[in-house]
Amino acid sequence: MPIGSGTLADLARAGYRVLDEPSMQVDLEIHHRADRPGGLAAVLAGLPEGVTFSELLCAGSHGIGLIAGTRTGGSADRAGDPHHGPWLERTAHDGQTLSSFRGADRPNLAFRQEFADRVEGIIVVEDEPKKMLLRHGLAVLDTLVHVAGTAVRAGGAPLLVLQCPAQLPPTNTYADGGETGGRAGDAARSSSLAVRFEMALPSPGVEARLDVADRIASWCADRGLGLWLRDTRSGYRAGNWFSVLRHDRPRARRGYRRAADRQRSTGNAAEGCVPVTLVGPARSGSTHAVLSYLAQFPELGVVGCTMVPLGGLAFLTLQLAVNGASRQRLFALNGQLDASRTSAAAEDVLRRLVPLLHRDEAPEPQEHLVGRATDYQIAVGPALPVVADNTVRRVPIWVSWQLQDVPTGVRLPVRALHEALHAVRLGEGDPAVEYLVSRERGVSQLRGKGKLAVSKNVVERLYPGRRGTERLAAELVDAWGAALERLGHSVRPGELSVSEHESWLGRGVPLG
């Protein structure tokens, strides 16, 4: 059988990575914790001297934070057993329970993230600030399953990003303002109940892109969900979107499944969840396999999701809703999680976990976790309360960096950013890191991008006026550069960028 050019390219890429990473093993760390300002800087500062992450993911939503990182090379004491189950540390910090999982796995050396043609979109599940309900979790899971299924149907398109909640594109809402001729754009919320996705098309072309867009648009139209797609015209950056479908709020709400709700009950709010992270070799179809397995349970909802490949491994984190959550129930659930974490097989752990989240007995699943994800490891817990943020309006501050010759890796820009936030008086209570990814490129380049969520009231108090967020961004990038200089890194032009708009990051500077 002849070998296609794509297969030859994958083999060549895998061979190159074997030369660069001869151990073919990646050490990994996963931290589930209550989300607090400065949590990422604290985790990085706690790493042993000389140790850093090659690639890093940080995400936070509903008061629950995720920090995941990879290091290539593997530890000598684990080299013979790369598929062992992650081991757990539980520690208390400021009255909060933290869970840290450490392990190792073999990456998919042929997996790549640099694709010429990608489809990026945002699906709106709820377009106004609203307390998270259990039915929202069912709608989010349905949406994730459809997006992942669309990627599988598109020739096995690799999923590069899944994120929920996500920021909706800025609207054309204006307020009176004398500084800009009577009109000024209203700052967008940092996040809403929406699913942001990015998939790579293995066969680039207009037809493949339209097939994906049409399938997702048809599904959204049937349910009244809004849809935005990234503007891919030449010269447009990430963060430029165009509207495909306007969100039909009444229709969307009528269409939500309500299997988890209870009549005459006040317990239909999503008040607790269990963070679950599955990690394994990055391959097309693995995320769909996990989501399809969970979709078999009619009451199981997902209130938050993050999926990003790091170092040839896919990290999929799901915040699984606890039905009828209370402080006592979450405490008891943590005891049950501690007692049941004896198996490294993801399906075994999920099969035991799901009945603990239901108020009624969960049905026996009809389908198993298919082969695309059967070798995945799983990190579970702790059960944490969902913190409603619909009463506080938060605005986004986007940050990015492209640094050369950074021996301490991601520790340096994160520490400097943490110091800069204190310098502009945002270090106490604000901001939260909603999304951040850092990757090493080659032997000397470090790239990263993230979104911080800052209380709009705090911005208006510190920087009054219509351009307050813009002035905050300008002061923050200066303070960030000064902090890097104090830490011994000579900042070059264009290495740092801060903006209230994602599409303005690095404006005027080639991104490479």
Helix axes 286-294 and 134-153, enclosed angle (nearest 10):
140
Helix axes 346-357 and 327-340, enclosed angle (nearest 10):
160
Q: Are 353 and 399 in contact (CB under 8 A)?
A: no
Structure tokens at 125: 């599940």
In this structure, is residue 251 part of a structural domain? Answer: yes
Q: Are 192 and 479 in contact (CB under 8 A)?
A: no
Would you call 375 exposed, middle or buried from its count of C-beta atoms within 10 A (0-12, 13-18, 19+)? Answer: middle
For β-strands 226-230 and 241-245, DSSP reports them as antiparallel
Q: Are 444 and 472 in contact (CB under 8 A)?
A: no
Beta-carbon neighbour count of residue 407 at 10 Å? 11
For position 428, what pLDDT does the model report?
64
Domain stop point among 209, 232, 255 = 255
Per-residue buried b or exposed e for 450-466, using 16+ beta carbons within 10 Å of the residue's own CB:
bbbbbbbebbeebbeeb
Q: What is the CATH number of the domain that holds 125?
A: 3.30.70.600
In this structure, is residue 11 part of a structural domain? Answer: no
In this predicted model, what pLDDT tens digit does every residue of 320-351 receive, in sequence order?
Answer: 999 888 878 888 888 887 655 545 688 888 98
Q: Are 279 and 315 in contact (CB under 8 A)?
A: yes
Beta-carbon neighbour count of residue 135 at 10 Å? 18
Q: With DSSP H G I counted as helix, E B as strand and the rest as coil, what are the percentages for the chain, rounded to 5?
A: 30, 30, 40
For position 449, what pLDDT does the model report?
95
Domain stop point among 255, 277, 304 = 255
Residue in 300, 249, 260 with CA at minimum distance from that of residue 130:
249
Q: What whole-number distance in Å separates Cα of residue 319 and Cα of residue 137?
A: 9
Amino acid at 212: V
Residue in 93, 84, 90, 53 with CA at minimum distance from that of residue 71:
53
For position 22, what pLDDT does the model report?
42
Residue in 453, 452, 494, 498 with CA at minimum distance from that of residue 475:
498
In this structure, is residue 469 part of a structural domain? Answer: yes
Q: Is the peptide bond before 165 cis (omega within 30 degrees of 0)?
A: yes
For position 260, what pLDDT does the model report?
82
For position 151, what pLDDT does the model report?
94
Q: Are 182 and 140 in contact (CB under 8 A)?
A: no
Amino acid at 244: V
Beta strands in 37-191 (DSSP E): 55-61, 64-72, 87-93, 96-105, 118-126, 159-164, 174-175, 184-185
Q: What whole-number distance in Å separates Cα of residue 208 and Cα of residue 206?
A: 6
Domain stop point among 201, 230, 255 = 255
Distance (Å) of CA 170 to CA 187, 237, 320, 366: 7, 15, 29, 43
In this structure, is residue 226 part of a structural domain? Answer: yes
**Domain residues for 197?**
118-169+188-255
In this structure, is residue 495 part of a structural domain? Answer: yes
Would you call 366 exposed, middle or buried from its count of C-beta atoms within 10 A (0-12, 13-18, 19+)? Answer: exposed
| Under-70 pLDDT residues of the chain | 1-23, 72-97, 113-116, 171-187, 263-267, 338-344, 428-430, 443, 507-512
Q: What is the CATH number of the domain that holds 450?
A: 3.30.70.260
For position 416, what pLDDT does the model report?
94
For β-strands 118-126 and 377-380, DSSP reports them as unpaired
DSSP letters of 178-191? GGGTT-EEPPPPS-
112 phi and psi angles, rounded to 5 deg: -135, 155
Q: Are 357 and 334 in contact (CB under 8 A)?
A: no
In this structure, is residue 340 part of a structural domain? Answer: no
In this structure, is residue 113 part of a structural domain? Answer: no
In this structure, is residue 30 part of a structural domain? Answer: no
Structure tokens at 506: 């690095």
Average pLDDT, the chain: 82
| Bridge partners for 66 per DSSP | 32, 59
Total-model pTM = 0.88
For position 346, what pLDDT does the model report?
86
What is the domain count for the chain? 2
Q: Are 306 and 162 in contact (CB under 8 A)?
A: yes
Q: What whole-number distance in Å separates Cα of residue 477 and Cα of residue 110?
A: 37
